[in-house]
């Protein structure tokens, strides 16, 4: 059995309850380019963590590193998910271990209907997320179940990408800019759904350019600047701290 190390910096602090996902001293490279420069943070079970920072700060690289994709290479560090050492896994193993990355480009499979996209992702028999449960969460997908996935609107494709991750019965949802390019009314709808998913116990890392939106939804925030963490604390604290927002988020 794998025993997760205790990464808490201060055992007396309420925020250092045993973490569900722990990233410890992670360093990531694209070839010679040193991008993520030794970051450590925790995500607790059932919370939404906003991972923020300016363009090029290293947010996508951090998500890809956690998901164990081939690029970037993680040269040093540990990543633990619910006692499982992700840093020793390939991406497909990390996926089986419960990691669900929804990339920016959504990757809906052409030629398949909404329902087929979901069925392909579903583990059989479905454990947590049946089609009915997914359609309850995303009524628009239920209405369009026979429509080809790639013909959905941008917002609906984002919903399908999230539903497809859930269908795999994941433990942690990693979202890379889910609101990008979507009308505010659709963002409202997705945000409402993310709240419902949280109420059902999901743990989420949310990367968003729309930092205010993300902070309003999130419990905690981690801010990256050129591959290093410059803030780790409550989301409310970032919303209240004008200096921090101006310096690292340009808002």
Binding site for ligand ATP (CB under 6 A): 30, 33, 35, 53, 55-61, 71, 209
Alpha-carbon distance of 161 to 150, in angstroms, equals 11
Q: Taking contact as CB under 5 A, which single stretch among the options 55-63, 91-99, 214-222, 235-243 is the one that binds Mg ion?
A: 55-63
Q: Rule CB under 5 A: is residue 130 a binding residue for Mg ion?
A: no
**Cβ distance to ligand ATP smaller for residue 30 or 107:** 30
Residue 43: phi, psi to the nearest 5?
A: -125, 125
Q: Rule CB under 5 A: is residue 209 a binding residue for Mg ion?
A: no
Residue 53 near which of Mg ion, ligand ATP, none (CB within 5-8 Å, type-dependent): ligand ATP
**Cβ distance to ligand ATP smaller for residue 35 or 214:** 35
**Cβ distance to ligand ATP smaller for residue 82 or 104:** 104
Q: Rule CB under 5 A: is residue 95 a binding residue for Mg ion?
A: no
**Cβ distance to ligand ATP smaller for residue 39 or 141:** 39
Residue 30 near which of ligand ATP, Mg ion, none (CB within 5-8 Å, type-dependent): ligand ATP
Shortest approach of Mg ion to residue 60 CB, angstroms?
A: 3
**Cβ distance to ligand ATP smaller for residue 66 or 121:** 66
**Cβ distance to Mg ion smaller for residue 5 or 181:** 181
Strands 33-43 vs 21-30: parallel, antiparallel or unpaired: antiparallel
CB 59 within 8 A of CB 248: no
Shortest approach of Mg ion to residue 237 CB, angstroms?
A: 23
Q: Rule CB under 5 A: is residue 60 a binding residue for Mg ion?
A: yes
What's the per-residue H, E or C state across the chain?
Answer: CCCCCCCCCCCCCHHHCCCCEEEEEEEEEECCEEEEEEEEEEECCCCEEEEECCCCCCHHHHHHHHCCCCCCEEEEEEEEECCEEHHHCCHHHHHHCCEEEECCCCCCCCCCEHHHHHHHHCCCCCCCCCHHHHHHHCHHHHHCCCCEHHHCCHHHHHHHHHHHHHHCCCCEEEEECCCCCCCHHHHHHHHHHHHHHHHCCCEEEEECCCHHHHHHHCCEEEEEECCEEEEEEEHHHHHHCHHHHHHHHCC
Residues 5-44 as x/- pattern, contact with Mg ion by CB under 5 A: ----------------------------------------
Residue 43 near which of ligand ATP, Mg ion, none (CB within 5-8 Å, type-dependent): none
Q: Which residues sit at the interface with Mg ion, rule CB under 5 A?
A: 59-60
């Amino acid at each position: 059995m794998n025993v997760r190390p205790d990464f808490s910096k201060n055992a007396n602090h309420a925020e250092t309850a045993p973490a569900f996902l722990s990233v410890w001293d992670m360093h990531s490279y694209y070839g010679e380019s040193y991008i993520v420069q030794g970051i450590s943070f925790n995500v607790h079970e059932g919370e939404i963590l906003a991972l923020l920072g300016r363009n090029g700060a290293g947010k996508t690289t951090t998500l890809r590193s956690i998901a164990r994709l081939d690029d970037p290479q993680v040269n040093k560090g540990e990543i633990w998910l619910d006692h499982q050492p992700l840093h020793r896994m390939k991406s497909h193993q990390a996926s089986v271990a419960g990691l669900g990355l929804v990339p920016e480009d959504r990757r809906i499979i052409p030629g398949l209907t909404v329902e087929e996209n979901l069925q392909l992702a579903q583990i059989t028999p479905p454990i947590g997320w049946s089609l009915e449960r997914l359609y309850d969460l995303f009524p628009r997908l239920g209405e369009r179940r026979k429509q080809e996935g790639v013909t959905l609107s941008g917002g609906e494709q984002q919903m399908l990408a999230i539903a497809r991750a859930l269908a795999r019965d994941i433990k942690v949802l990693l979202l890379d800019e889910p609101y990008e390019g979507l009308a505010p009314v659709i963002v409202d709808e997705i945000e409402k759904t993310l709240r419902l998913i949280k109420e059902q116990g999901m743990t989420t890392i949310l990367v968003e350019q729309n930092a205010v939106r993300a902070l309003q939804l999130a419990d905690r925030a981690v801010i990256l600047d050129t591959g290093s963490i410059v803030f780790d604390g409550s989301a409310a604290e970032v919303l209240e701290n004008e200096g921090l927002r101006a310096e690292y988020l340009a808002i």
